[in-house]
């Protein structure tokens, strides 16, 4: 299993430069084709403009076309700069609203993954979606990597955190982590769980009540260990080291606590079962919470989107 096509969104910012470098590293490691994509809105010639304003409108449209030509040139310069590094690179400039254009272009190109930077702030005070990256993560059917700068990123992904809830996307998530991991990388697989509130006595717990709760906790921990070890064994590889861990805490908060307590990750890989659609205004999934708050790059693997096997006739293309 491998990645065939990667689209990296470019808006010429420092953030998109980080995305280019990390996408380039993945493409080099996996043999995927890399497409540089720039989305810019170019207005149609307005209808019904008074004749006295035609000159002004024409001048405005001329400037827009000049900007578009300049963007094409800048994208070409980036392509030339990163070409010749063992990766086949192409470029595309399209007209559209950024998040919609990125998703549409990735679909039309048959891309397996979208890589993009983010200008979004992190922190507990940010409750509403605001960045193009988050809208793409929420609405795209493709795997999406939100690239963030990291001092420890020296080329390649050597220390990866994989979050799991043992649902249907668990195996694809670990597959993806192994696919992008550098040789010899360490992959930590983390499952967070917590007892439901009704498990605790309402009044001051008696010894017998504590024993019941502790017994339930032990059962969950033992079952989690068994499932975690089975998941790891299914993906055991001589190229990477995989270890399973569990944490008794609500998933979203537990993942962030784990990242803070175990510094040095250069990538977090997580799965998403999230609903799609414009009606979803508030973040709800653990994956989106992780994208928003993680200090490092996050790769979101969407349920139902598998890596495609490469036909032998495609090798080397």
Q: Where are the domains of the chain?
A: 5-314
- Judge: domain 5-314, CATH 3.40.50.12370: yes
Kindly write down the DSSP assignment for every residue of 95-116, as one continuous string: -S-HHHHHHHHHHHHT-SEEEE
Collapsing DSSP to helix, strand or coil, 241 comes out as strand
- The mean predicted confidence, pLDDT, of the chain is 82
Q: What is the mean pLDDT of residues 56-60?
A: 73
Q: What is the 3-state secondary structure (H, E, C) of 131-195?
A: CHHHHHHHHCCCEEEEECCCCCCCCCCCEEEEECCCCCCHHHHHHHHHHHCCCCCEEEEEEEECC
Tens digits of residue pLDDT in 79-89: 999 998 889 99
Distance, in Å, from the CA atom of 19 to the CA atom of 13, rounded to the nearest integer, reads 10
Determine what percent of the chain is predicted with pLDDT higher than 90: 53
The token duo for 111 is: 């891309």
Gyration radius from the chain CA atoms: 23
Handedness of CA 125, 131, 133, 137 (dihedral sign): positive
Determine what percent of the chain is predicted with pLDDT higher than 70: 78
92 pLDDT tier (thresholds 50, 70, 90): very high
199 pLDDT tier (thresholds 50, 70, 90): low
Side-chain half-sphere exposure of 282, counting CA atoms within 13 A: 2
Tens digits of residue pLDDT in 247-272: 999 999 999 999 999 989 999 999 98
Q: Which residue has the higher pLDDT, 197 or 157?
A: 157
Q: What pLDDT is recorded for position 205?
A: 62
How far CA 306 is from CA of 143, 260, 280, 301, in Å, comes to: 9, 30, 25, 9
Residue with tokens 């390649």: 156
The token duo for 231 is: 């998941």
């Amino acid at each position: 299993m491998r990645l065939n096509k990667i689209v990296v969104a470019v808006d010429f910012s420092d953030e998109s430069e980080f995305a280019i470098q990390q996408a380039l590293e993945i493409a080099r490691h996996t043999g995927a084709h890399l497409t540089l994509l720039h989305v810019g809105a170019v207005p149609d010639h307005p209808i019904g403009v008074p004749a006295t304003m035609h000159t002004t409108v024409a001048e405005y449209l001329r400037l827009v076309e000049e900007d578009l030509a300049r963007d094409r040139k800048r994208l070409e310069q980036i392509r030339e700069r990163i070409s010749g590094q063992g990766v086949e690179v192409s470029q595309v400039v399209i007209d559209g609203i950024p998040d919609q254009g990125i998703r549409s272009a990735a679909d039309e190109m048959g891309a397996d993954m979208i890589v993009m930077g983010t200008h979004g702030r992190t922190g507990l005070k940010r409750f509403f979606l605001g960045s193009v990256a988050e809208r793409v993560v929420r609405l795209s059917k493709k795997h999406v990597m939100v690239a963030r700068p990291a001092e420890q990123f020296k080329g390649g992904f050597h220390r990866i955190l994989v979050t799991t809830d043992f649902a249907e996307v668990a195996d694809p998530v670990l597959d993806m982590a192994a696919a992008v991991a550098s040789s010899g990388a360490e992959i930590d697989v983390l499952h967070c769980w917590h007892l439901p509130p009704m498990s605790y006595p309402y009044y001051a717990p008696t010894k017998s009540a504590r024993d019941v709760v502790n017994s339930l906790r032990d059962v969950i921990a033992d079952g989690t260990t068994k499932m975690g070890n089975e998941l790891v064994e299914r993906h055991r590889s001589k190229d990477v080291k995989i270890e399973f861990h569990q944490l008794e805490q609500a998933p979203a908060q537990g993942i962030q606590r784990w990242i803070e307590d175990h510094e040095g990750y250069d990538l977090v890989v997580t799965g998403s079962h999230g609903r799609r659609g414009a009606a979803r205004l508030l973040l709800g999934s653990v994956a989106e919470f992780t994208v928003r708050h993680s200090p490092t790059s996050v790769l979101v693997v969407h349920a139902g989107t598998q890596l495609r096997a490469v036909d032998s006739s495609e090798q080397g293309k």
